[in-house]
């Protein structure tokens, strides 16, 4: 599976493909200084585990670029709740 990263400076996405077929996509926006918000994750049901692979790529990107992640989409939030080993890139909660 090939996962590519696309960014225009304010928004971006990670796109997974297998051959000519799209396996999944994870979208994000840059929401603050060194913070990205994962907004949406969609996986093709034919490719089991693609969401986790997309999140792994997003976490690696955050680590490599000293970014923190706000997991807004339900899938990303669920995965952050389950995986304490990725909490190093979790943005701190802001009280309003």
Q: What is the pTM of this model?
A: 0.92
Q: What is the pLDDT of residue 32?
A: 79
Contact 69, 58 (CB under 8 A): yes
Residue of 39, 10, 9 whose CA lies nearest to 25: 39
Share of the chain above pLDDT 90, in %: 91
Residues in the chain, overall count: 96
pLDDT in tens, 1-23: 999 999 998 999 999 999 999 99
pLDDT in tens, 46-86: 999 999 999 999 999 999 999 999 999 999 999 999 999 99
Residues 12 and 14: their CA atoms lie apart, in Å, by 7
Pick the CATH number of 2-87 from 1.10.3720.10, 3.40.630.30, 3.40.50.300, 3.20.20.70: 3.40.630.30
């Amino acid at each position: 599976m090939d996962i590519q990263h696309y960014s225009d400076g304010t928004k971006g996405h990670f796109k997974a493909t297998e051959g000519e077929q799209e396996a999944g996509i994870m979208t994000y926006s840059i929401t603050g200084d060194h913070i990205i918000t994962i907004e949406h994750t969609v996986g093709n049901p034919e490719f089991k585990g693609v969401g986790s692979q997309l999140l792994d790529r997003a976490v690696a990107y955050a680590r490599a670029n000293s970014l923190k992640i706000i997991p807004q989409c339900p899938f990303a939030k669920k995965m952050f709740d389950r995986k304490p080993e990725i909490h190093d890139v979790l943005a701190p909660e802001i009280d309003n």
